[in-house]
Chain A
Amino acid sequence: MEQEKQLLTDSADLIHLAKTGDNAAFLQLCRENSGRVYAVCLRMLANTELAKELTQETIVRAWQMLHSFRGESPFGAWLHRIAVNAVLDHIRSQKRRSARIQFTDDIERFEREEEQISPEALMDLESAVASLPLQARTVVVLHDIEGYSHDEIGTMLGIASGTSKATLHRARTLLKARLGR
């Protein structure tokens, strides 16, 4: 308890310092939360390079937006939300690009989108999640792993919450199939 309180004031101090422009304090905060940010990026993007890039993007965004952090939620949650938005923005920009120019050299990603997963290759849960089609993966990660509600997901993705629900159900069914259950 005592320790927890200590940690809390520590992070409050760090936030205060960070807001006055102390990037060491800011990075300390990011370091503490980088695992969570990286996890959500990695699971949503299913690509370590991109996950790294988006984690960094998140931190840079957070640094730029730090003045808008009012401390109403824990710093970790705030950072997490920025990460999710950064990833969604990335996906959107990718979509926009690929809608006009079909990238054929990026076969790996392409195939994943097309759901060409051999049924006999059973996977562990993480890779099964990674193998899901984009929207299904996004919804599963946000709902089941990260605990967002369908309403929140709907707003973030610009879809109806009912659609989010339906996607989740479908995604779970796909997951079960891929896990051989």
Chain B
Amino acid sequence: MNEKHVLDLIHDYIDGTINDTQRKMVELHIMQCESCRKELDSIRTLVDELKSLPKSINPPADILTDIESKLSVKELESLEVDHRRNGKVEKKIFRFVDYFNTNKVQAAWYFRAAAMLTVLVGAFAVWFTLRTSPPQRDITDIITQPINEIESTKKQSDVLDKSKSTEPTSALKKEQTSKSKVSEKQASEPEQPKLAVENAQIPTKPITTQKPQEQLMAAATPDSIVAKIDSTQKSMYQITQLEKGSNKIVGRVIDATSGDPIVAVNVLAVGTTRGAVTDMDGKFTIVGIPPGSYTLRASKVGYAALEMRDVKVENDKGAQLNFRMKSSEVQISGVTITAERPMINHLATSTVRVQSNNEELKTKQGNNLFLRGGRNNEVQYLVDGVPVTSKLDRLQTQQRQFHTEEYDKINENEFLDARQNPLSTFSIDVDNASYSNVRRFIQDGQMPPKDAVRIEELINYFTYDYPQPKNGYPFSITTEMSTCPWNGEHKLLLIGLQGKKIAMENLPPSNLVFLLDVSGSMNEPNKLPLVKAAFRLLVDQLREEDKVSIVVYAGRAGLVLPSTYGDEKEEILHAIDQLQAGGSTAGGEGILLAYKIAQENFKKNGNNRVILATDGDFNVGISSDAELERLIEEKRDLGIYLSVLGFGTGNYKDSKMEKLADKGNGNYSYIDNLKEARKVFVGQMAGTLFTIAKDVKLQIEFNPTKVKAYRLIGYENRMLAKEDFNSDKKDAGELGAGHSVTALYEIIPSGGEVNLPEVDDLKYQDSRINRIAKKTNEILTVKFRYKPPKESESRLIVHPLEDETAELDETSNNFRWAASIAEFGMLLRDSQFKGSASFRDALELAQDARGKDREGYRAEFIRFVELCKDLARSQK
């Protein structure tokens, strides 16, 4: 453990954010290491002290006093009373609120005081009104009835509501009780002075309207302020009859408190355009008003508006009104200024045309003119001048900048001296992912990265016209030798293996577990949607004895489709359609689950296989390649194989996926379009899914009398040590039903020129060439080892080859086609052994060897060679 790491772990140890293994590690370490022990103690002390710091610190005493006013203001603001004019009233309200806030008991007393005052003033007001109004017999009924109601509610009223509800209740009750007393009193004094004014009516709601201002003010919570403003204040006016002949309304407006006239009060007959403004003496005259009944409204900023209803104007009669206005806070509805801030749309762009001096442009033309935003990581978004690049954007930019595709470096096989190294051993490889990947690059108009080109995979992408095996062998062997197209001095040897074709219906039942990557990185048109389309093709191929289940992984692994028989296609397709991409990748976890499902549905003589579809970006769980590979090997030995289908671009982990399929005895294909998916799933269904021979190895012994040196083209990552050939423990490639494998050797015949480092002859051993070598016409012997799928012992096939070289144009299409691809691959790899190879020659060879080409794959290859020819030229 290094020091920094231990230190971090010590912190985690103290915080308890550590797993068991790490905890044990730390405990073990601190037993041995004194300095770490001390560190642990001192950090622990510190943390304990920090934890025991008081959670509460007394704030300055005035902190809440200040706040109270802020809160009060807030509340009033929220009621849209924005402006208070009369300081006196305002103060009164707030003093009340303050009292209310600070001491509820005190507040309650205040209410009682207010209620008393209300009672007294109210009593006076009622008495006054009744004295000046015509007698109303039913007034007692109106008043007494609510009292009972109110009293009953009062008894039920909750303690919680005390501060609110008791106030009006008790106040009203007392007020009204006194009123009833008044009315009783009034009954004993039936003679009331007759009203001088006839054209004004007594207010219809005596209780409300007669409530004196003082009471309202005193009881003012913000709610009641608003109510007061809106209510009619009829106690404020007097009406007198005017002399005959005048058809107008005249009057005067005075301040209710001071009695001073109020200037510039707007007096309006509501609903008409008739109105007037008071003069310096507070007087107003509304002339020419037609007879009728009006509501007059007096209003001025800073005063509560007053309204008087049913002011009757008759011909030759006028009305005289005196308003007594109460100053009050003004109700102005808040002015809301709205402006829309446009949403930021990451997708939308706008064009801003900047006029610039032409001269300047001319001088800057060419290399010097540079526009900001010209590179893909340079589009800058600003909000109020602040850059707002999201983390995601930054990530994408990085991805654009740095290709995160991964390819293992390929060290090309070199020429080996046939005397020093007479044996060449390698494992077969039926993968062809490299071809589709290379195709993707070429289609995008760029040369593929060198290490993305695995020549054997390019060659094996195509089907060859090799004969079917006979005599119960799982595969046939074809060899052919001719002049090497890119070096006339050399020979080119083709070794072809053809796996036995098995008709679909003869295949053993399958137990397939689709393991689909639905992580966020798969959310691209050429990834998950293509995966879904590809699997739909495969589902069509399923028979009723086949079983399919789907496991997805992204953040968390989950079983989307439990094992379902192949004839329930609807169900399988439905499950596929539901798939959506999102989240991070927990590839390891997904694989575990997939294997578990495969195990549960294991078919003894069947094809048990997990089919992984991914862009290869495993980043959670079993994420070390080695650990993952071990798991795959372990399952392979149990009979569950792994096939890998690569999808997508930009984030593609080619190296990792090839390894996984390799370890899992499966195929690895790269699917870049639906056509490719059809090739893999429909055309080669049997081969993709059913292995006819496993651990297929080749060992070639060259005859040094005929061969000076040799070189295997491709298969760099499939090379085996010579002793591995006879070891049944050594894993090698699998051959699927109908699959073919082609290998090419470039051979320098004996006597040929080659620049190889000289090795001294051995001192103690005889490395002399024996008699057989000199006598025979055999140039080499090919040895094959393979195991039938269910067996663990290998079988050997030996195939000697005579030294017969055909002319290049007499060779089979197979030979020339493979040679053409090899030439093309070497050019893409810029191989040091490419000799006179050129795209033109490769093209010629290919065109000549195209054959039947039913599916059109070869024609496609020819187009790519043409494209590359142009690409290469343009790059020069």
Contacts and interface: CB of A to CB of B under 8 A. Distances in A.
Given A63-B74, A176-B42, A176-B43, A125 B50 contact: yes
Interface stretch (B54-62, B167-175, B735-743, B825-833): B54-62
B64 A23 contact: no
A179 interface: yes
B75 A21 contact: yes
Interface in B91-108: 97, 100-102, 104, 107
Contacts of A169: 7-8, 11
Contacts of B45: 181
Nearest to B38: A181
A175 B45 CA distance: 12
Contact of A63 (B64, B71, B386): B71
Secondary structure of the A side of the interface? helix
Contact of B60 (A16, A31, A36, A52): A52
Given A21-B75, A22-B163, A52-B63, A27 B55 contact: no
B343 interface: no
B58 A23 contact: no
A172 B67 contact: no
A27 B57 contact: no
B626 interface: no
A35 B71 CA distance: 19
Interface string B1-29: 00000011001100001000000000000
B195 interface: no
Interface string A25-48: 011001100111111001000001
B17 A13 contact: no
A11 B143 CA distance: 40
A181 B46 contact: yes
Interface string A95-137: 0100010000000000000000000000001100100000000
B70 interface: yes
Given A63-B74, A144-B47, A175-B46, A31 B64 contact: yes
Given A24-B104, A63-B74, A125-B50, A150 B58 contact: no
Nearest to A99: B386
B515 to A, nearest CB: 29
A145 interface: yes
B839 to A, nearest CB: 50
Nearest to A63: B71
Interface string A48-68: 100110011001100110000
A140 interface: yes
Contacts of B54: 39
Contacts of B47: 144, 172
Contact of B71 (A23, A150, A181): A23
Contacts of B57: 35, 38-39, 42
Contacts of A35: 55-59
Contacts of A63: 71, 74
Interface string A160-181: 0000011011001001100101
B463 to A, nearest CB: 51
A91 to B, nearest CB: 15
A98 to B, nearest CB: 13
Nearest to A42: B57
A8 interface: no
Interface residues of B, number: 42
Contact of B64 (A34, A165, A172, A176): A34
A156 interface: no
A24 B43 contact: no
A17 interface: yes
Contacts of B102: 24
Which of B12, B54, B107 has most A Cβ within 10 Å?
A: B54
A145 B53 contact: yes
Given A30-B64, A35-B58, A60-B71, A23 B51 contact: no
A34 B550 CA distance: 56
Contact of B43 (A27, A37, A172): A172
Interface string B483-513: 0000000000000000000000000000000
Nearest to B60: A52
B810 interface: no
Contacts of A166: 8
B70 A56 contact: yes
B101 A24 contact: yes
Contacts of A59: 64, 67, 71
A37 B75 CA distance: 23
Contacts of B64: 27, 30-31, 34, 59
A177 to B, nearest CB: 11
B238 interface: no
B68 interface: yes
B472 interface: no
Given A13-B160, A100-B385, A181-B42, A26 B59 contact: no
A142 to B, nearest CB: 11
B49 interface: yes
Given A36-B56, A150-B17, A176-B42, A23 B68 contact: yes
Nearest to B59: A38
17 contacts: A23-B75, A23-B101, A26-B71, A31-B64, A34-B63, A39-B54, A39-B57, A51-B59, A59-B67, A125-B49, A144-B47, A145-B53, A145-B55, A166-B8, A172-B46, A172-B47, A176-B42
Given A23-B75, A59-B67, A165-B11, 17 more contacts: A23-B71, A30-B64, A34-B63, A35-B56, A37-B59, A38-B57, A42-B57, A55-B59, A59-B71, A60-B67, A125-B53, A144-B50, A144-B51, A165-B12, A172-B46, A172-B47, A175-B50
Which 10 residue pairs of A and B lie closest in terms of their CB atoms, listed nearest first?
A35-B56, A38-B59, A144-B50, A24-B101, A39-B57, A169-B11, A36-B56, A23-B71, A34-B59, A59-B67
